[in-house]
Amino acid sequence: MSVKIEVCRVFAAEPAVVWARIARIEDHSVWMKDAVRIEPRAVPRRDVGDEFDCLTRVGPFSTNDRFTVTEWAPPAVMGIDHVGAVKGTARFVLEPAGDNANATRFCWRESLTFPWWMGGALGGSVAKHLLARIWRANLVRLQRLVEAPEPSVREAGIPPSSEAGPQRPGAGGAESGE
Dump pLDDT digits (tens) for 46-60.
999 999 999 999 988
Q: Tell me if 41 is assigned to some domain.
A: no
Q: Tell me if 82 is assigned to some domain.
A: yes
What pLDDT does 61 receive? 84
- The residue type of 175 is E
Mean pLDDT for 149-156 is 57
Q: Tell me if 136 is assigned to some domain.
A: yes
Rounded to an integer, what distance in angstroms lies between the CA atom of residue 27 and that of residue 64? 17
Q: Tell me if 117 is assigned to some domain.
A: yes
Rounded to an integer, what distance in angstroms lies between the CA atom of residue 39 and that of residue 26? 6
Q: Tell me if 99 is assigned to some domain.
A: yes
Q: Tell me if 61 is assigned to some domain.
A: no
Is the pLDDT assigned to residue 161 strictly greater than 50? no
Rounded to an integer, what distance in angstroms lies between the CA atom of residue 55 and that of residue 78? 20
What pLDDT does 152 receive? 52
Dump pLDDT digits (tens) for 25-35.
999 999 999 99
CATH of the domain at 117: 3.30.530.20
Q: What is the mean pLDDT of the chain?
A: 86
What pLDDT does 103 receive? 96
User: Sheet harboring 61-73: ordered strands across?
Assistant: 3-11, 100-113, 87-97, 77-83, 61-73, 51-58, 35-40
Dump pLDDT digits (tens) for 66-121.
999 999 999 999 999 999 889 999 999 999 998 888 999 999 999 999 999 888 99
Which distant-in-sequence residues (6+ apart) come within 8 Å of 150 by Cβ? none
- The residue type of 13 is A
- At residue 151 the predicted structure's pLDDT band, cuts being 50, 70 and 90, is low
Q: Tell me if 165 is assigned to some domain.
A: no
Domain that holds residue 97: 3-24+69-148
DSSP run (H or E) holding 104: strand 100-113
**Partners of 8 in beta bridges:** 107
Which distant-in-sequence residues (6+ apart) come within 8 Å of 8 by Cβ? 105, 106, 107, 108, 139
C-beta pairs of 157-163 under 8 Å, 24+ apart in sequence: none
What pLDDT does 162 receive? 43
- At residue 149 the predicted structure's pLDDT band, cuts being 50, 70 and 90, is confident
Q: Tell me if 158 is assigned to some domain.
A: no
Number of structural domains, the chain? 1
pTM here is 0.81
